[in-house]
């Protein structure tokens, strides 16, 4: 098989597999939240720049009439196919076609990128695509710095990466580090190309700055607070971050990438090739900054992974050399690496639909490791929506639905469509604070949906309503086994606006009371009866 055919086989087979997974899995993690991005397109959101919303809207538009969860993912699956091609192209430029195929395979067999980013909706998909496009165009521009068109392409790619995730701002940092390491490359600074690219990228990103200025710098402040605030050195958090990276990339890929990084650091930078210096310069800023933060604050395991992506071409080069030196043994290793995510992803989808590994109490892995099952989230909200419809709770246009979590409210919105208004009543409402005004809900009845993961009890909302009364309790069922209990409460006539706003952990906001209607006393009971099981 030729290298070109091998690459397109990887892209085609993996894309079909992801489409099958996407069609058989309910919305998961934050996907429903990005569905609401697509329904409320803007140049910014509380927690992310807009590209994830643009890609989600495109997928939903192309698949109009199909399942929203599936349509939401289509654009991201297509974008990951493009990322695979870009990884191969970037690697081929420096190390040859066989290394390009190997690097494309490496990207696809990681758990986080190959399974999660490649299948589910999220901002890391666009970031990956435009990060790789920036590296590919920047590499071409450095080879021919006098060609302004190449710098225009690099500037566009960087601007689009900034529209995907804010830490694409690290790409110019990596470029400057490369110029420090390789003085011969500094001749490009005597030409207009690099400055044109910077201006173009900032121009593309400027609407996000404008949106933040209009919204109290909400998004910048939120993301800045997540990585800031020195809390003393905590080595256990650093070890936790390392373990998370290892599992997200799969241990054998992570170990290989760390080994490459260590070997390069041990060698003198003057001995690095141009390609090695370019790639490590783009890897180090993300790895250094996020792992530095991990020494004093808990980080999400995937935050530093984009740095490892920049090292994958070097790993692809190593795999290509191993394949040439020991083809039989290397092919077996490649089959193993490809089989693991295929098996894990397929079993995940099968279990999410059928409860393959749940015990009689709905717990994961039976008596071996009886823990809460995260896949319940993929089936929970569809059953809740059906229950609400059966009970006629979606029929009244004045009644709205709400939960105590932005994730839950988003899940509720994607399964109920446009049939009913949905709010999030919690101090951390994320973008829900921009999608309605607190006073919009005053005078209306609400239905509070409480799931087992809810952090707020129904009586918490008594001060905002005339009264709160239980409606029903019902189970979420999978394979005939109840896996969770849901409670519904009717909150009659909201009397005061619930003030949205993220100000960090703390107590729920208190309302400014409005008088109840004449003859209808305010119910302030703190001991609501539990709804009876249906």
Question: What pLDDT digit, counting tens, does each position of 115-133 carry?
Answer: 999 999 999 999 999 999 9
Q: Which residues of 365-401 are buried (b: 16+ CB within 10 A; e: fewer)?
A: eeeeeeeebebbbbbbbbbbbebbeeeebbeeeebbb
| pTM to 2 decimal places | 0.92
pLDDT, tens only, 451-503 = 998 989 999 999 999 999 999 999 999 988 898 999 999 999 999 999 876 54
Q: Which residues have CB under 8 Å from 58's CB, separation 6+?
A: 75
Question: 423, 494, 482, 485: which is closest to 454 by C-alpha?
Answer: 485
Q: Give me the mean pLDDT over the 81-85 stretch.
A: 99
Q: How many CA atoms lie within 13 A of 115 on its CB side?
A: 23
Q: Name the helix (H) or strand (E) containing 482.
A: strand 481-494
Q: Does 232 score more than 60 pLDDT?
A: yes
Q: Give me the mean pLDDT over the 502-520 stretch.
A: 48
The rounded percent of the chain whose pLDDT value lies above 90 is 79
Q: Name the helix (H) or strand (E) containing 204.
A: helix 193-214
Query: Cβ atoms within 10 A of the Cβ of 254, count?
Result: 19
Report pLDDT for 229.
Answer: 65
Q: Which residues have CB under 8 Å from 365's CB, separation 6+?
A: 357, 359, 371
Q: Does 512 score more than 60 pLDDT?
A: no
Backbone CA torsion sign across 328, 331, 333, 336:
negative
Report pLDDT for 38.
Answer: 96
Q: Alpha-carbon distance 354 to 69, whole Å?
A: 18
Q: Does 517 score more than 50 pLDDT?
A: no
Q: Does 507 score more than 90 pLDDT?
A: no
Q: What are phi and psi of 402, to 5 degrees?
A: -155, 160
Tokens 């039976």 belong to residue:
366
Tell me if 321 sits within 8 A of 255, measured CB to CB: no
- Write the burial class of residue 234 (CB in 10 Å: 0-12 exposed, 13-18 middle, 19+ buried): middle
Q: 422: which strand partners?
A: 401
* E strand segments, 349-480: 400-403, 422-424, 446-450, 465-478
Tell me if 476 sits within 8 A of 482, measured CB to CB: yes
Q: Does 521 score more than 50 pLDDT?
A: no
Decide the pairing of beta strands 481-494 and 465-478: antiparallel
Question: 324, 332, 312, 328: which is closest to 253 by C-alpha?
Answer: 312
pLDDT, tens only, 145-156 = 999 999 999 999
Q: Is 84 left (phi over 0), alpha (psi -120 to 50) or beta?
A: alpha
pLDDT, tens only, 37-71 = 999 999 999 999 999 999 999 999 999 889 999 99
Question: 249, 1, 206, 255: which is closest to 112 by C-alpha?
Answer: 249
pLDDT, tens only, 2-26 = 999 999 999 999 999 999 999 999 9
- DSSP secondary structure, 104-151, as one string: HHHHHHSIIIIIIITTS-STHHHHHHHHHHHHHHHHHHHHSTT-HHHH
Q: Which residues have CB under 8 Å from 438's CB, separation 6+?
A: 497, 498, 499, 500
């Amino acid at each position: 098989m030729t290298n070109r055919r091998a690459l397109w086989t990887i892209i085609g087979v993996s894309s079909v597999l992801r489409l099958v997974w996407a069609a058989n899995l309910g919305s998961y993690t934050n996907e429903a939240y990005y569905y609401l991005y697509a329904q409320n397109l803007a140049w910014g959101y509380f927690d992310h720049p807009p590209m994830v919303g643009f890609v989600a809207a495109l997928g939903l538009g192309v698949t109009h009439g199909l399942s929203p969860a599936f349509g939401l993912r289509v654009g991201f699956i297509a974008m990951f196919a493009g990322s695979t091609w870009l990884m191969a192209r970037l690697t081929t430029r420096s190390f040859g076609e066989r290394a390009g195929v190997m690097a494309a395979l490496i990207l696809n067999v990681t758990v986080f990128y190959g399974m999660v980013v490649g299948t589910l909706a999220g901002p890391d998909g666009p970031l990956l695509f435009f990060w790789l496009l920036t590296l590919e165009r920047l590499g071409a521009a450095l080879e021919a710095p006098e060609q302004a068109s190449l710098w225009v392409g690099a500037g566009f790619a960087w601007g689009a990466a900034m529209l995907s995730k804010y830490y694409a701002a690290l790409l110019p940092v990596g470029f400057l580090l490369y110029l420090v390491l390789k003085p011969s490359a500094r001749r490009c600074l005597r030409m207009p190309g690099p400055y044109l690219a910077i201006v173009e990228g900032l121009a593309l990103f400027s609407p996000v700055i404008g949106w933040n200025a209009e919204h109290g710098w909400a998004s910048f402040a939120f993301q800045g607070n997540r990585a800031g605030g020195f809390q003393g050195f905590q080595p256990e958090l650093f070890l936790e971050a390392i373990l998370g990276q290892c599992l997200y990339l799969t241990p054998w890929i992570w170990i290989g990438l760390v080994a490459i990084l260590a070997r390069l650091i041990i060698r003198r930078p003057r001995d690095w090739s141009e390609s090695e210096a370019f790639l490590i310069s783009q890897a180090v800023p993300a790895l250094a900054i996020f792992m530095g933060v991990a020494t004093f604050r808990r980080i999400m395991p995937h935050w530093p992974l984009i740095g490892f992506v920049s090292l994958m071409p070097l790993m692809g080069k190593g795999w290509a050399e191993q394949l040439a030196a020991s083809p039989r043994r290397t092919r077996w290793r490649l089959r193993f690496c490809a089989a693991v995510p295929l098996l894990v992803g397929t079993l995940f989808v099968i279990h999410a639909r059928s409860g393959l590994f749940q015990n009689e109490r709905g717990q994961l892995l039976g008596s071996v490791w009886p823990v809460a099952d995260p896949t319940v989230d993929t089936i929970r909200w569809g059953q809740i929506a059906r229950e609400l419809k059966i009970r006629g709770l979606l029929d009244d246009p004045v009644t709205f639905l709400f939960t105590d979590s932005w994730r839950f409210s988003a899940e509720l919105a994607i399964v109920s469509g446009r049939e009913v208004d949905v709010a999030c009543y919690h101090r951390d409402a994320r973008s829900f604070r921009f999608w309605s005004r607190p006073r919009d809900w005053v005078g209306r009845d609400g239905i509070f949906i409480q799931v087992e993961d809810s952090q707020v009890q129904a009586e918490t909302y008594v001060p905002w309503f005339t009264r709160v009364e239980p409606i029903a309790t019902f189970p979420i069922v999978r394979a005939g086994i109840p896996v969770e209990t849901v409670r519904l409460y009717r909150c009659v006539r909201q009397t005061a606006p619930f003030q949205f706003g993220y100000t960090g952990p703390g107590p729920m906001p208190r309302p400014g009371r409005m008088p109840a209607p004449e003859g209808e006393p305010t119910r302030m009971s703190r001991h609501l009866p539990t709804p009876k099981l249906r």
